[in-house]
């Protein structure tokens, strides 16, 4: 292989994928106070690479290296250079193109979307909260050079870029690269020279990467001495009593890549049939990509301190906001990732850890309601996915759920609170789904519930339409949508003491029949309402049909044709309805009235009249009549 130098192909220039270029533009022009994050990102990548090599060499002994995994940060104040090198897995040419020319990870995509939607001046903050991986190097560097050799290969490559749209890749002689691993060299910008000061860089590494499970050393100058800064020991193997709150927080930040503090820390050792150590965190704030369908949970699975994968299902999807790791003593080290996924041991870990996480949340709910409310605000919408995904834990999850309701104001109410305050003869838990809490709270469909002092859950997360309609009950009380089927409120007394006067005048029945004919197949039925008190009309789903909000959501996703026609309910005691009913044979006006009532009900639901032109004409005719 002595002739690799003579056959080395010329450097090849390539263009960044459009989104990378956009991201880089932002990095290059970042006016951002906390640029230190780039250190954490480069060290995290170096540590990942070391852990990957450790794992791959379990299966392929030829990859095993004599050198212990290590990361070295080298400072060169004279040349204004900072180098991060690792003896990890390294990259092939194809790896380089894929990893450093495109946006591969879903989180960065989510970040880009957020960025596109952000207003001017918000973006710097977003970078800080998010951490954008390798490309963050361009916040502090005019140019970046990555020299790398994949373990087990005979070729080395160098990637260089100034972050301005293109990058170059060339093959280099293997003696210019680490024997295996990667060296990232940053040519620092004028205003970033402080990153070559030893005390600065050591402070940053300690704060951000102090618990990375690979030792980190700092070399003061290219020919200077190397000091080990962190020993790469695994925090989670130490006893709880030997770990401070700051150490937990630092560890959380390095493992989660977030900047907040953990709202909840779980550190314990499971013993008995299976032995494993758990160190998990519930973050304080919501990451951007929480609802990204590609976002998997990212719990790291270790086997006796060797990192195996962060793609195994250690926790169910609805706990994907939980960060941290599980270190198993029992899983065989040489199991493939695919086999791990289907292993009964993993299933046992999943079960044990899930129960523990939910148990801790329940404890928090009891011990610190405010903290729990903050947790719920950040992650409740995700946890609720479990209500229909995890049948076995449905009751537990319903117990953890909190709701805004018509009687709770801004307070969060539990179903237990709700059931404790049931009205006499009330047998169901009522809910309304929509996108806007205020509009829901004032929607005509819940007037009759309000008048009877019946609490209604106001559900505004998209996931609510799904779980609430999945046949849930709590404490023997079924959940029932206020916009579906008959309201059945007859047995519950109104608060003002008046006995419900459900017997409508005979003219009302005649008018209902008239409206039904006039509206034809725009609605599936017209009937006198029990749920209206002040509005004249509202729309509800038929007994068999699906809830109207769910129908809207499905339609928006192109899933179900909007076939099921709603039912129009009329308030037989409303002045407008009684006077229209008493009109005698002015059929033209009654027809206009029927259509306008339907359109009014649609508007109250946040929809448009079905035929806006016809609506305008009708309104015009009626107004002209009123004006004489
Ligand atoms: P992430 O680490 O979340 O995947 P990054 O932008 O930090 O995103 O890195 C992109 C990819 O570049 C990594 O997934 C990895 O494949 C590759 N990479 C970066 N640094 C290294 C390194 N030191 N050794 C090996 N691969 C690396
Ligand atoms: Mg990274």
Q: What is the spatial distance between Cα 550 and Cα 315, in angstroms, rounded to a whole number?
A: 28
Instruction: Read off the pLDDT band of 40 (50, 70, 90).
Output: confident
Ligand 1 centroid vs 45 CA: distance in angstroms? 5
Q: What is the spatial distance between Cα 90 and Cα 67, in angstroms, rounded to a whole number?
A: 14
Instruction: Read off the pLDDT band of 584 (50, 70, 90).
Output: confident
- Nearest bound ligand to CA 212? 2
Which domains are delineated in the chain? 12-230 (3.30.565.10), 235-370 (3.30.230.80), 403-628 (3.40.50.11260)
Ligand 1 centroid vs 284 CA: distance in angstroms? 26
Q: Does the C-beta of 23 come closer than 6 Å to ligand 1? A: no
Q: Which residue's alpha carbon is at the smallest distance from atom 10 of ligand 1?
A: 99
Q: Of 45-49, 342-346, 545-549, give the lowest mean pLDDT range.
A: 545-549
- Measured in whole angstroms, the distance separating CA 356 from the mean position of its chain's CA atoms is 21
Torsion on CA atoms 191, 195, 199, 200, rounded to nearest 10: 70
Among 38, 44, 48, residue to substitute to test ligand 1 (most atoms within 8 Å of Cβ):
48
b/e per residue 523-539 (b: at least 16 CB within 10 A): beebbbbbbbbebbbbb
Q: Which residue's alpha carbon is at the smallest distance from atom 23 of ligand 1?
A: 46
Q: Which residue's alpha carbon is at the smallest distance from atom 16 of ligand 1?
A: 99
Among 134, 158, 288, residue to substitute to test ligand 1 (most atoms within 8 Å of Cβ):
134
Q: What is the spatial distance between Cα 19 and Cα 123, in angstroms, rounded to a whole number?
A: 15
- Nearest bound ligand to CA 135? 1
Ligand 2 centroid vs 88 CA: distance in angstroms? 14
Residues 200-223 have pLDDT tens digits of: 999 999 877 877 889 999 999 999
Q: What is the spatial distance between Cα 211 and Cα 536, in angstroms, rounded to a whole number?
A: 65
Q: Which residue's alpha carbon is at the smallest distance from atom 12 of ligand 1?
A: 99
Residues 544-566 have pLDDT tens digits of: 777 777 777 777 777 765 557 88
pLDDT higher for 386 or 541?
A: 386
Identify the pLDDT of residue 215.
96
Identify the pLDDT of residue 350.
96
């Amino acid at each position: 292989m002595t002739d690799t130098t003579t056959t080395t192909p010329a450097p090849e220039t390539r263009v960044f994928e459009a989104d990378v270029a956009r991201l880089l533009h932002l990095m290059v022009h970042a006016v951002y106070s906390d640029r230190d994050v780039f250190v954490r990102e480069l060290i995290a990548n170096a540590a990942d690479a070391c852990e990957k090599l450790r794992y791959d060499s379990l299966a392929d002994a030829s990859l095993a290296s004599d050198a212990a995994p290590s990361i070295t940060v080298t400072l060169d104040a004279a040349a204004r250079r900072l180098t991060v090198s690792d003896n990890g897995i390294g990259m092939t040419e194809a790896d380089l193109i894929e990893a450093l020319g495109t946006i591969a990870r879903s989180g960065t995509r989510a970040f880009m979307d957020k960025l596109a939607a952000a207003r001017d001046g918000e973006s710097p903050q977003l970078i800080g909260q998010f951490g954008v991986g390798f490309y963050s190097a361009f916040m502090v560097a005019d140019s970046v050079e990555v020299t790398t050799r994949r373990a087990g290969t005979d070729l080395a490559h160098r990637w260089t870029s100034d972050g301005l749209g293109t990058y170059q890749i060339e093959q280099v002689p293997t003696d210019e690269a680490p024997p295996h691993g990667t060296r990232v060299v940053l040519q620092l910008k004028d205003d970033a020279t402080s990153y070559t000061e030893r005390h600065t860089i050591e402070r940053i590494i300690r704060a951000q990467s102090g618990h990375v499970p690979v030792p980190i050393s700092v070399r003061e100058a290219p020919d200077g001495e190397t000091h080990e800064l962190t020993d790469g020991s695994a925090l989670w193997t130490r006893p709880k009593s030997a770990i401070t709150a700051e150490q937990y927080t630092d560890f959380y930040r390095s493992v989660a890549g977030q900047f907040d503090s953990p709202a909840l820390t779980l550190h314990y050792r499971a013993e008995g049939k299976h032995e494993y150590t758990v160190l998990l965190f519930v973050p304080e704030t919501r990451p951007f990509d929480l609802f990204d369908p590609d976002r998997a949970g990212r719990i790291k699975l270790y086997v006796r301190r060797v990192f195996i994968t962060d793609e195994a299902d250690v926790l169910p999807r609805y706990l994907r906001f939980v960060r941290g790791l599980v270190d198993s003593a029992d899983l065989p080290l040489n199991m493939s990732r695919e086999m791990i996924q289907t292993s009964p041991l993993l299933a046992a870990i999943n079960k044990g850890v899930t129960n523990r996480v939910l148990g801790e949340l329940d404890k928090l709910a009891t011990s610190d309601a405010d903290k729990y409310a903050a947790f719920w605000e950040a992650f409740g919408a995700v946890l609720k996915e479990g209500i229909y995904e995890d049948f076995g834990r449905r009751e537990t999850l319903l117990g953890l759920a909190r709701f805004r309701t018509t009687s709770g104001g801004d307070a969060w109410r539990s179903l237990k609170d709700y059931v404790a305050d049931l009205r006499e003869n009330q047998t169901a838990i009522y809910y309304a789904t929509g996108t806007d809490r205020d509009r829901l709270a004032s929607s005509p469909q819940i007037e009759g519930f309000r008048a009877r002092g019946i609490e209604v859950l106001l559900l505004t997360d998209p996931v609510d339409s799904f779980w609430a309609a999945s046949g849930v009950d709590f404490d023997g009380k079924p959940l029932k949508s206020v916009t579906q089927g008959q309201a059945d409120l007859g047995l519950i007394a109104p608060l003002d003491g008046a006995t419900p006067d459900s017997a409508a005048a005979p003219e009302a029945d005649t008018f209902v029949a008239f409206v039904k004919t006039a509206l034809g197949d725009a609605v599936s039925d017209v009937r006198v309402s029990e749920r209206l008190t002040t509005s004249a009309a509202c729309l509800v789903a038929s007994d068999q049909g699906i809830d109207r909000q769910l129908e809207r959501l499905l339609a928006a996703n192109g899933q179900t044709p909007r076939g099921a026609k709603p039912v129009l309910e009329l308030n037989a005691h409303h002045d407008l309805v009684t006077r229209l009913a008493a009109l005698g044979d002015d059929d033209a006006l009654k027809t206009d009235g029927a259509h306008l009532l339907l359109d009014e009900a649609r508007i109250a639901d946040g929809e448009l009249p079905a035929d806006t032109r016809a609506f305008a004409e009708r309104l015009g005719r009626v107004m002209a009549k009123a004006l004489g």
